[in-house]
């Protein structure tokens, strides 16, 4: 009986052993995959804490591993890290894993750096320390670890090596006008600085006054911790024509100058809004430019053409990335050759713009010239302006505050904005009415009063004209003398829907196809005419109609170009292209050409008449009122014109605040001054 019980217990123990859960041993492939995943996520803290072996931690400290990885990845702009196995994953059986203590995983490492892509092969060596005291039990620490060394940071790197790089500067592309004149260039400038050892702080105030900077800003530069008191410390840069300032500065003991290459804008404020300027990359810039290879030490276009064509103008510095051995020898890792930026040639004529700016620089407003045959924009002026060199060579906080707080707002780019067209709109209303068949050019409308309304439903709202000299008003009379009531009537005859469609056929409510971003011209804030009063106002250029100066000038160019409005061009590489084809019939074009000429010979722009030229155009005065009850008397004056003898360009001028200068007549006066300059 006793033997039977023993046999029974033996059988139970045997069955229990056979049916119990089998011990599962750790798989090195799982550890390798998890390690690779954390590596590609740049989670070096977790790698060091949970994945590398104790032997690795004994040899390499947290600083050697985590901090070095993070520092080098940031300094070298490492991204797009990819680690892939170079051999298929081996299927390992559990019984093989029981005693396995070493395992290799061949990998290919690839990542981008500031010197280009680096790709190389290495081998992850995994080890599994076994608990020798309890070989028959599964230890809680039974797992695989990675044996690490610095070659996983960079190919061939050893513990005492340093990773370094040196750059070869690339040149930023230059911007040229249509005649090859540089308008944004890499040119020589003076750099004024101090040598602290030789500089007496008693002269600090004198130097600050000469350089137009604060004493504290100068002192801040030469007292930084890295400054060697025997070395030159740059303070401020100046254009070569600022020679007198530089001479006065270097007369002070310890102050000297040198000539360096920097971005210069030879035409200064003449082209300030168009060229824009460059500046140091900011944190916000880096966020927007992520993935394009910029670093905190780079410069970038901040506004104008410099910003618009940053991708083309930007030079890519050459970079050599290498490992430096303790003995000073170098092992190259990656090399990226320097690539200079592209030059850009624009349609602008810098000398023509200089003449136009010289006439208008004391005003507020905008002006342009557009070739009606090709669409080439030969000038783009915004007044007042600023000198972009000041931003590049070191504008002070005081200087910037003065610009930004100036009531005339010199930092606002006006040529990209939209404005109320005033009576220059009457050309567009005429085109719309003729095309719609609602305007009979020979029909005289009886208009006796100075203020008119359609009927009593308008309440107190009335349209006002300048003069009551004409009571039977046909198109010629209304156009020459800019009769608001005549054009308000024509707008009502067309109706809001027809007028809207006709204006849209002239480019309203669509993006202007111009390389420089422009505000879109609008019919109204809503895109519709909300009332008869708004329709009447819009027909003579008030209401909520807004148009860009390049758009408006281009439409006038369509009259000079036999009905075809050319796409406005900014780059010389662009080919002429029709934007708005046959905006009206040939008969109407001939009629409108005659009307524009009569505005100068007999109408509101007589002051533009010049011997040897046949100036044609249309004046406009825009009242800046929120409503008819608004007592604001501020006015903008416009004159859009061209020479019918030599229609090389349409000149568009819009001047703000002309209410005390003669209204649109002031714009006419300025236009005449420009035409006369062009004849000199």
Contact in structure between 621 and 604 (CB atoms under 8 Å): no
User: DSSP code of 65?
Assistant: I
151 catalytic residue (yes or no): no
Cβ neighbours around 75 below 10 Å, total: 14
In angstroms, the CA 621 to CA 655 distance is 10
Contact in structure between 595 and 480 (CB atoms under 8 Å): yes
Joined together, the tokens standing for residue 168 give: 């070869």
Helix (H) or strand (E) holding 260: strand 255-264
From 53, 416, 423, 482, active-site residue: 423
In angstroms, the CA 539 to CA 499 distance is 9
In angstroms, the CA 313 to CA 301 distance is 9
3-state secondary structure of 314: coil
Cβ neighbours around 541 below 10 Å, total: 27
Helix, strand, coil distribution of the chain in percent, nearest 5: 35, 25, 40
**Residues forming a β-bridge with 464:** 451
Contact in structure between 577 and 566 (CB atoms under 8 Å): yes
Contact in structure between 529 and 535 (CB atoms under 8 Å): yes
Cβ neighbours around 225 below 10 Å, total: 4
Of the candidates 521, 516, 497, 568, the residue with the CA atom closest to the CA atom of residue 420: 521
Joined together, the tokens standing for residue 251 give: 């007369």
In angstroms, the CA 377 to CA 372 distance is 9
Q: In degrees, to the nearest 5, what angle opens at C-alpha 412 toward C-alphas 408 and 415?
A: 110
Q: Could you give the residue numbers annotated as active site?
A: 423
């Amino acid at each position: 009986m006793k033997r039977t019980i023993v046999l029974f217990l033996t059988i139970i123990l045997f069955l229990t052993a056979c049916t119990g859960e089998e011990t599962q041993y750790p798989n090195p492939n799982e550890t390798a995959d998890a390690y690779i995943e954390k590596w590609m996520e740049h989670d070096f803290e977790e790698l060091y804490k949970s994945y590398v072996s104790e032997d690795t931690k004994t040899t390499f400290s947290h600083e050697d591993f985590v901090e070095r990885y993070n520092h080098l990845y940031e300094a070298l702009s490492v991204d797009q890290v990819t680690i892939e196995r170079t051999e298929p994953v081996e299927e390992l059986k559990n019984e093989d894993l029981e005693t396995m203590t070493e395992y290799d995983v061949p990998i290919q490492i690839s990542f981008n750096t500031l010197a280009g892509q680096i790709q190389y092969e290495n081998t992850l060596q995994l080890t599994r320390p076994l608990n020798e005291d309890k070989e028959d039990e599964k230890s809680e620490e039974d797992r695989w670890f990675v044996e690490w060394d610095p070659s996983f940071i960079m190919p061939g790197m050893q513990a005492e090596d340093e990773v370094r790089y040196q750059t070869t500067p690339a040149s930023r592309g230059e911007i040229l006008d249509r005649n090859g004149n540089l308008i944004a260039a890499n040119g020589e400038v003076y750099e004024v600085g101090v040598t602290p050892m030789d500089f007496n702080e008693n002269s600090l105030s004198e130097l600050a006054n000469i350089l137009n900077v604060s004493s504290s800003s100068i002192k801040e530069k030469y007292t930084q911790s890295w400054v060697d008191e025997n070395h030159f410390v740059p303070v401020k840069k100046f254009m070569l024509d600022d020679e007198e300032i530089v001479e006065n500065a270097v007369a002070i003991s310890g102050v000297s100058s040198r000539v360096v290459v920097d971005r210069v804008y030879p035409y200064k404020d003449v082209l300030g809004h168009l060229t824009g300027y460059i500046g140091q990359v900011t944190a916000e810039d880096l966020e927007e430019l992520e993935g394009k290879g910029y670093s905190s030490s780079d410069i970038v276009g901040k506004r104008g053409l410099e910003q618009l064509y940053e991708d083309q103008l930007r030079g890519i510095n050459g970079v050599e990335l290498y490992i430096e051995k303790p003995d000073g020898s170098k092992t190259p890792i990656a090399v990226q050759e320097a690539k200079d930026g592209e030059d850009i040639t624009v349609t602008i004529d810098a000398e023509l713009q200089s003449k136009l700016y010289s006439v208008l620089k004391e005003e507020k407003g905008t002006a342009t010239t557009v070739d009606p045959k090709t669409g080439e924009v030969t000038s783009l002026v915004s007044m007042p302006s600023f000198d972009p060199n000041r931003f590049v060579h070191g504008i002070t906080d005081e200087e910037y505050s003065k610009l930004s707080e100036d009531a005339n707002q010199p930092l606002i780019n006006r040529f990209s904005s939209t404005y109320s067209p005033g009576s220059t709109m009457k050309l567009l209303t005429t085109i719309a009415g003729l095309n719609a068949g609602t305007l009979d050019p020979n029909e005289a409308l009886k208009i006796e009063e100075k203020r008119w309304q359609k009927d009593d439903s308008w309440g107190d709202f009335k349209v006002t004209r300048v003069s009551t000299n004409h009571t039977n008003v046909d198109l010629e009379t209304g156009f020459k003398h800019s009769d608001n009531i005549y054009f308000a009537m024509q707008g009502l005859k067309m109706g809001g829907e027809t007028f809207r469609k006709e204006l849209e056929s002239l480019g309203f409510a669509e993006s202007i196809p111009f390389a420089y971003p422009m505000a879109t011209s609008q019919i109204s804030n809503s895109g519709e005419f909300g009332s008869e009063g708004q329709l009447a106002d819009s027909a003579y250029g008030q209401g909520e109609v807004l148009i860009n100066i390049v758009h408006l000038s281009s439409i006038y160019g369509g009259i000079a170009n036999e009905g075809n409005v050319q796409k406005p061009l900014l780059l010389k590489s662009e080919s002429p292209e029709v934007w708005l084809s046959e905006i009206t019939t040939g008969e109407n074009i001939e009629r409108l050409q005659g009307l524009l000429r009569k505005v100068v010979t007999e109408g509101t722009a007589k002051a533009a008449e010049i011997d040897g030229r046949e100036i044609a155009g249309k004046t406009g005065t825009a009242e800046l009122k929120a409503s008819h009850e608004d007592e604001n008397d501020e006015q903008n004056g416009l004159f859009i014109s061209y020479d019918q003898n030599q229609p090389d360009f349409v000149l568009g001028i819009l001047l703000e605040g002309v209410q005390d200068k003669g209204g649109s007549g002031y714009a006419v006066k300025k236009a005449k001054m420009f035409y006369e300059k062009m004849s000199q």
